[in-house]
């Protein structure tokens, strides 16, 4: 559930005044600009100027109106006693000493917002007007151009905001000439670095305590975020507990690469230029690095909507009177006609750039075609925009018919004779979305495709033509899209809950998507004044999303969440975050992915505190060509060129930094460097990075120094390339006891888990580096080998083989995709599975009806197809055999289906015996003892092992793989034990009941007597022979009368181990 925070939270921390992350920008719509931070003390403003009146403002505000209500920094209008110092560097901008050089404009906090102008050249204390240092001691800073003659006193005790105005060299003030004239495009940058604030009033109090991580996801839009730094955005959403998926709508306004078109007399999109303007590319790259570096899955969203003022006329959807489609935004947007290939190619190119950029960072790829539709005329005259000349001509060319007349003038008109045209338009809309999908998939086949459907538009009951027009279900139904996202905020805003309830049905019904392939968007509150009314409705809708059990639920969108103070609190219904990320426990949060603005001569790498090096004679050369590459397990390999130095004669100091704080987290002295093919390398496995960061980092900042003197550094996202490192990849397949090697069942962190222990042991045995061996997780909890053992056989997807259809199941297909996507061959498979299939044989199951024969056949088919899919018909497989399943209150617990488990273990043994390359890798040491299981299910139940069991098993598996061992011939004794048989009961003359059974005694037997009325345990008794007495007195104590029935578990004991249980309920007449 959510709540609205109306004021900042407890201000338990502070930020430095003029913290680079909290500056922002603004600019006129004809130009483009972006702002990114570069560490804790630097920022970079990128500008593209296109007219002679373009103006970009770099702004600091005394009042924080952008951050979330809980996390806004304290308001302070008083700058007296505060000293701001920064170094600057200008590119393609006028120098400070020019008449139109940079000016800081201070705005007084009064009704008139009186401006005061500070010429920065007057306060430059070092360097040149293009590359120098400015010091502003606000207590003495004066306005005016020529000082002291034109000095103006500034009320620094009461300043609302100030900004540095950045203009093109050919700038003409707006008041001098009303016409805004195009100029030759100028790409300019202003860099501020070494930003320091000293004196008094240097910090601003702020709440730093983060919200717990939760399962609600968030969406954002470039047009609502462009003026902020990516660092501020990513830090802010993480502080609110958002993790996992992050949908970024690239919007309509600020991203476009445009050129002046004399024919149209305006700037329009220019597909001939590199896609996206340079400031947007810089901003998005920084945002992507930060989001990917902190574990977000970034969904790139594009719609057909585009700023009307820059959209080529030929691309626009148009109404009956040729009026272009126009939305209600200001400035207005229009929409690209789905029949316009040039417009679609432009969108595909934007997708392509984003996918290329993300892939270079090693991030997973997701793209969304957002709200595709023919515009219905909302906000103008209500005319459907379906009559642009290109579309009409194409209809006639393809069908031979003219477009029906009279043209529709209202989206609420009946379909009438327009049906064939509307259906054709619908199919063109669907084809356009598939066109975009296929363009992206052609170059990025691993990208996940998503489509966002706005149900109030496509399923408007008041406008029947819209469903015909805007719901191309043939192009959208499963399996056309990997994921379908649904939103219906019009109905949420107005509280039309009956219509809202049909949103899910649109996805699961006509489109036929399972819940695990559906996402839901809840939102949105356009105006702050309606927050108290609309947010409770949004909250209800978000809870509906969780109740529907769709895969993900999102709040739309971040700007309104921040403005209105919406805070999501996980509940038992919505659950906490399940994306596997680490929660913050407190303190400031900083996103990891940042780029550094270099100080002069540093080459763009992290800049250490400045020290005068003195003479440069005989100084060692710094390492060169620093590189890093990671594998899919999270390990990283650093390497560098010795740059002419002999590695045998020098030592290296490698330092890894926390990107958020700049603090060193690990320093390694490398006295005997490893040199391969002329490059020095150092491995940074997850065993080390987990200690440093608590997780395997995807963004790293590091430097290496030769003999502690000459250093070079590198920062960035870690590219993943298994082929560059990995020599053995071992897949763990099956269900939860394979998965447990990778989870907290076997270790607190991935590095402490038994999968890591397996790879360390295998690497050591093979003489490889740890990072050259990767365990690969391809197992799913509760997955069944046989579809009819799935928890939901009819519509579930958690199974490996469909025996009836003779085809692979979803889990097998996923495992093959994981293996083939590694970039290196899979060298072995560890298989641990069977618990769910064994439980499906129970007589109490009503929907699952598997058996031993089906289990064996399914396992054999899985192995055959898994090997074929991975390209190696003889791929070795080692089986981690089935353990045990204890169930029931009290100790020791019985093993009710132990006989089935034994039979299924025997099947695993038989399958291994029939194929020389299938072997028993481990019998799971300790699996015989119920003490070695986690108590986790009602009853309670025990299926998963304690961590030491996984660790010991991993060691056995590694030994088996390294030495090609088969443990089939040495099964432990407990695996041979069956349950007692022939259980019966008789009443003796004294009314005692004697229960007896067949079976070899071994070390005796154990009997658990169960109440036939409550199911509670009455007694646990160990006996030496095959009989147990339920005395008359015990019957009276248990039931208040003689028992008419007796219910018992009987187990054999041998070697200190209790064997499988026989459960019997026997009538014993009085």
**pLDDT in the model for residue 77:** 98
pLDDT digits (tens, 9 = 90+) for 220-254: 999 999 999 999 999 999 999 999 999 999 999 99
Contacts of 198 (CB under 8 A, 6+ apart): 82, 83, 85
Which homologous superfamily does the CATH classification assign to the domain defined by 726-881+892-976?
SGNH hydrolase (3.40.50.1110)
Nearest to 323, CA basis, from 341, 305, 335, 310: 335
3-state helix, strand, coil in the chain (%, to 5): 30, 30, 40
Contacts of 185 (CB under 8 A, 6+ apart): 48, 49, 50
Most confident segment among 11-15, 634-638, 939-943: 634-638
- CATH class of the region 981-1067: mainly beta
Cα distance between residue 257 and residue 263, in whole Å: 18
Between the alpha carbon of residue 849 and those of residues 282, 811, 855, 967, 1063, the distances in Å are: 57, 20, 11, 31, 20
- CATH code, 624-723: 2.60.40.10
State percent of the chain over pLDDT 90: 81
Which regions of the chain carry the CATH code 2.60.120.260? 2-206
Which regions of the chain carry the CATH code 3.20.20.80? 217-568
Nearest to 851, CA basis, from 757, 791, 938, 785: 785
For the ranges 164-178, 315-329, 1008-1022, which has the lowest average pLDDT? 164-178
pLDDT greater than 90 at residue 601: no
Alpha helices in 943-1019 (DSSP H): 947-963
Alpha helices in 361-418 (DSSP H): 389-399
pLDDT greater than 60 at residue 569: yes
pLDDT greater than 70 at residue 999: yes
**pLDDT in the model for residue 9:** 80
**pLDDT in the model for residue 590:** 37
Q: Are 196 and 41 spatial neighbours (Cβ–Cβ below 8 Å)?
A: yes
Cα-Cα-Cα-Cα dihedral sign, residues 48, 163, 144, 134: negative
Confidence of residue 574 (pLDDT cuts 50, 70, 90): low
Contacts of residues 182-185 at CB distance under 8 Å and 24 or more positions apart, as own/partner, are 182/50, 182/51, 182/52, 182/260, 182/267, 183/49, 183/50, 183/51, 183/52, 185/48, 185/49, 185/50
**pLDDT in the model for residue 937:** 63
For the ranges 226-240, 534-548, 568-582, which has the lowest average pLDDT? 568-582
**pLDDT in the model for residue 597:** 23
Most confident segment among 172-181, 324-333, 708-717: 324-333
Between the alpha carbon of residue 262 and those of residues 182, 277, 435, 759, 846, the distances in Å are: 10, 20, 31, 65, 74
| Residue 579 burial by Cβ neighbours in a 10 Å radius (0-12, 13-18, 19+) | middle
pLDDT greater than 90 at residue 881: yes
* Residue where the block lists tokens 């139904």: 477
Alpha helices in 506-639 (DSSP H): 531-548, 558-564
User: Mutual orientation of helices 531-548 and 497-505 as an angle, nearest 10°?
Assistant: 30
**pLDDT in the model for residue 266:** 95
Question: Average pLDDT in the 113-136 region?
Answer: 95
Confidence of residue 1055 (pLDDT cuts 50, 70, 90): confident
**pLDDT in the model for residue 605:** 32
**pLDDT in the model for residue 587:** 34
For the ranges 419-423, 648-652, 706-710, which has the lowest average pLDDT? 706-710
**pLDDT in the model for residue 582:** 37
Q: Is the pTM of this model over 0.85?
A: no
Distance spanning both ends of the chain, measured CA to CA: 58
SS3 531: helix
**pLDDT in the model for residue 713:** 74
Paired tokens of 251:
């919007």
Q: Is 735 left (phi over 0), alpha (psi -120 to 50) or beta?
A: beta
Question: Average pLDDT in the 1033-1046 region?
Answer: 95
For the chain, the farthest-separated pair of C-alpha atoms sits apart, in whole angstroms, at 124
pLDDT greater than 60 at residue 408: yes
Cα distance between residue 711 and residue 713, in whole Å: 7
* DSSP H or E run through 349: helix 341-360
Nearest to 714, CA basis, from 640, 605, 611, 630: 605
Contacts of 646 (CB under 8 A, 6+ apart): none
pLDDT greater than 50 at residue 583: no
**pLDDT in the model for residue 456:** 93
Question: Average pLDDT in the 475-499 region?
Answer: 96
Q: What is the mean pLDDT of the chain?
A: 91
Question: Average pLDDT in the 957-971 region?
Answer: 97
Which regions of the chain carry the CATH code 2.60.40.10? 624-723, 981-1067
Between the alpha carbon of residue 750 and those of residues 296, 568, 944, 959, the distances in Å are: 19, 29, 17, 21
**pLDDT in the model for residue 198:** 92
Confidence of residue 972 (pLDDT cuts 50, 70, 90): very high
Pairing of strands 679-684, 674-676: antiparallel
For residue 412, the 8-state DSSP code is: T
Contacts of 349 (CB under 8 A, 6+ apart): 271, 275
Domain covering 217-568: architecture? Alpha-Beta Barrel (3.20)
Q: Are 1070 and 987 spatial neighbours (Cβ–Cβ below 8 Å)?
A: yes
**pLDDT in the model for residue 599:** 26
Q: Does 449 or 650 have the greater pLDDT score?
A: 449
Question: Average pLDDT in the 458-480 region?
Answer: 93
**pLDDT in the model for residue 613:** 31
pLDDT greater than 90 at residue 547: yes
pLDDT greater than 60 at residue 961: yes
Question: Average pLDDT in the 168-181 region?
Answer: 84
pLDDT greater than 80 at residue 193: yes
Cα distance between residue 249 and residue 698, in whole Å: 24
For 2-206, the fitting CATH number among 2.40.40.20, 3.10.20.740, 2.60.120.260, 1.10.10.10 is: 2.60.120.260
- DSSP line for 469-511: HH--HHHHSTTSSSEEEEE-HHHHHTT-HHHHHHHHHIIIIIS
**pLDDT in the model for residue 565:** 95
Nearest to 236, CA basis, from 591, 513, 554: 591
pLDDT greater than 60 at residue 581: no
Pairing of strands 552-556, 518-523: parallel
Neighbour count for residue 874 (Cβ, 10 Å) = 9
pLDDT greater than 80 at residue 596: no
pLDDT greater than 70 at residue 938: no
**pLDDT in the model for residue 588:** 35
Which regions of the chain carry the CATH code 3.40.50.1110? 726-881+892-976
Cα distance between residue 37 and residue 659, in whole Å: 12
Cα distance between residue 319 and residue 317, in whole Å: 7
pLDDT greater than 90 at residue 1003: no
pLDDT digits (tens, 9 = 90+) for 289-324: 899 988 999 999 999 999 999 999 999 999 999 999
**pLDDT in the model for residue 201:** 93
* DSSP H or E run through 193: strand 182-199
For residue 213, the 8-state DSSP code is: P
**pLDDT in the model for residue 41:** 84
Cα distance between residue 879 and residue 833, in whole Å: 9
Contacts of 650 (CB under 8 A, 6+ apart): 620, 642, 706, 707
């Amino acid at each position: 559930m959510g709540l609205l925070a109306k004021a900042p939270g407890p201000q338990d921390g502070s930020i430095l005044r003029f913290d680079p992350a909290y500056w922002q920008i603004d600019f006129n719509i004809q130009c483009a600009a972006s702002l990114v931070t570069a560490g804790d003390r630097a920022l970079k403003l990128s500008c593209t100027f296109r007219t002679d009146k373009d103006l970009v403002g770099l702004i600091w505000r005394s009042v924080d109106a952008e951050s979330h209500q809980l996390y806004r920094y304290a308001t302070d209008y008083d700058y007296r006693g505060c000293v701001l110092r920064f170094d600057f560097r200008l590119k393609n901008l006028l120098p400070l000493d020019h008449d139109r050089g940079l000016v800081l404009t201070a705005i007084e906090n009064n009704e008139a917002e009186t401006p005061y102008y500070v010429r920065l050249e007057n306060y430059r204390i070092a360097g040149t007007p293009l590359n120098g240092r400015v010091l502003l001691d606000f207590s003495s800073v004066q306005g005016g151009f020529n000082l002291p003659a034109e000095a103006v006193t500034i009320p620094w005790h009461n300043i609302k905001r100030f900004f540095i105005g950045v203009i093109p060299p050919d700038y003409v003030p707006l008041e001098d000439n009303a016409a805004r004239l195009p100029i030759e495009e100028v790409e300019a940058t202003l860099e501020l670095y070494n930003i320091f604030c000293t004196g008094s009033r240097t910090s601003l109090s702020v709440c730093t305590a983060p919200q717990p991580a939760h399962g609600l996801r968030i969406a954002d839009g470039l047009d609502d975020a462009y003026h902020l730094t990516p660092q501020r955005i990513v830090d802010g959403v993480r502080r609110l507990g958002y993790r996992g998926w992050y949908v970024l709508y690239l919007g309509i306004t600020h991203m476009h690469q445009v050129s002046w078109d004399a024919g149209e007399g305006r700037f329009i999109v220019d597909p001939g230029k590199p896609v996206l303007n340079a400031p947007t590319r810089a901003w998005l790259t920084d945002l992507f690095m930060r989001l990917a570096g902190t574990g977000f899955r970034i969904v790139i969203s594009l719609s057909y909507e585009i700023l009307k003022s820059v959209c080529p006329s030929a691309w626009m959807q148009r109404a009956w009177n040729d009026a272009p489609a126009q939305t209600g935004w200001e400035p207005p947007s229009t929409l690209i006609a789905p029949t316009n290939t040039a417009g679609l190619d432009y969108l595909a190119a934007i997708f392509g750039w984003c996918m290329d950029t993300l892939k270079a960072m090693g991030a997973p790829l997701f793209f969304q075609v957002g709200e595709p539709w023919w515009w219905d005329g909302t906000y103008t005259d209500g005319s459907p925009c379906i009559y642009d000349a290109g579309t009409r001509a194409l209809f006639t060319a393809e069908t031979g018919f003219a477009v029906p007349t009279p043209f529709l003038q209202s989206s609420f008109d009946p379909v009438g004779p327009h049906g064939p045209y509307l259906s054709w338009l619908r199919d063109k809309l669907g084809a356009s979305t598939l066109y975009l999908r296929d363009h992206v998939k052609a170059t990025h086949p691993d990208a996940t495709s998503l489509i966002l459907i706005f149900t109030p538009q496509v399923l408007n009951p008041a406008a029947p033509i819209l469903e015909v027009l805007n719901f191309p279900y043939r192009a959208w139904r499963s399996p056309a899209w990997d994921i379908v996202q649904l939103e219906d905020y019009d109905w949420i805003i107005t509280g039309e809950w009956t219509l809202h309830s049909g949103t899910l049905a649109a996805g699961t019904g006509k489109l036929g998507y399972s819940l695990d392939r559906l996402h839901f968007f809840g939102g949105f509150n356009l105006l702050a004044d309606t927050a108290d009314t609309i947010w409770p409705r949004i909250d209800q809708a978000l809870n509906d999303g969780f109740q529907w059990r769709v895969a993900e639920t999102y709040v739309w969108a971040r700007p309104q969440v921040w403005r209105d103070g919406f805070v999501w609190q996980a509940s038992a219904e919505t659950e906490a975050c399940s994306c596997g990320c680490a929660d913050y426990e407190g303190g400031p949060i900083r996103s990891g992915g940042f780029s550094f603005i270099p100080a002069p001569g540093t080459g763009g790498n992290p800049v250490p505190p400045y020290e005068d090096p003195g003479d440069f004679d005989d100084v060692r050369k710094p390492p060169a060509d620093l590189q890093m590459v990671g594998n899919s397990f999270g390990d990283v390999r650093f390497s560098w060129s010795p740059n002419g130095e002999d590695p045998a004669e020098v030592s290296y100091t490698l330092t890894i930094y926390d990107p958020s704080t700049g603090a060193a987290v690990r320093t390694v002295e490398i006295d005997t460097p490893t040199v391969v093919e002329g490059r020095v390398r150092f491995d940074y496995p997850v065993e080390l990075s987990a200690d440093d960061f608590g997780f395997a980092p995807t963004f790293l900042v590091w430097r290496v120094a030769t003999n502690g003197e000459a250093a070079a550094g590198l920062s960035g996202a870690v590219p993943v390339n298994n082929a560059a490192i990995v020599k053995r990849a071992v897949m763990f397949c099956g269900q939860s006891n394979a998965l447990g090697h990778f989870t907290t069942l076997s270790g607190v962190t991935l590095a402490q888990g038994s999968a890591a222990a397996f790879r360390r042991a295998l690497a050591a045995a093979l003489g490889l580096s740890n990072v050259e061996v990767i365990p690969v997780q391809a197992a799913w909890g509760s997955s069944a080998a046989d579809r009819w053992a799935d928890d939901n056989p009819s519509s579930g997807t958690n199974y490996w083989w469909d025996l009836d259809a003779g085809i692979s199941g979803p889990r097998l297909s996923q495992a093959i995709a994981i293996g083939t996507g590694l970039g290196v061959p899979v060298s072995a498979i560890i298989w641990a599975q069977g618990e769910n299939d064994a439980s499906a044989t129970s007589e109490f199951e009503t929907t699952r009806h598997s058996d031993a024969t089906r289990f064996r056949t399914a396992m054999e088919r899985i192995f055959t197809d898994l090997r074929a899919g991975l390209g190696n018909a003889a791929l070795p497989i080692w089986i981690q055999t089935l353990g045990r399943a204890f169930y029931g209150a009290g100790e020791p617990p019985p093993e009710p289906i132990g006989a089935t488990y034994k039979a299924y273990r025997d099947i695993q043994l038989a399958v291994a015996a029939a194929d020389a390359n299938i072997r028993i890798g481990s019998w799971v040491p300790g699996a015989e003892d119920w003490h070695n299981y986690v108590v986790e299910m009602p009853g309670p139940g025990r299926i998963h092992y304690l961590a030491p069991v996984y660790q010991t098993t991993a060691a056995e598996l590694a030994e088996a793989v390294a030495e090609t061992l088969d443990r089939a011939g040495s099964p432990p004794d407990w695996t041979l034990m069956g349950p007692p048989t022939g259980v019966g009961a008789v009443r003796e003359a004294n009314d005692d009941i004697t229960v007896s059974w067949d079976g070899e005694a071994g070390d005796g037997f154990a009997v658990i007597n169960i109440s036939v009325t409550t199911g509670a345990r009455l007694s646990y008794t160990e006996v030496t022979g095959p009989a147990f007495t339920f005395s008359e007195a015990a019957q009276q104590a248990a039931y208040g009368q003689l028992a008419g029935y007796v219910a018992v578990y009987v187990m054999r004991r041998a070697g200190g181990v209790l064997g499988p249980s026989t459960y019997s309920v026997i009538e014993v007449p009085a």
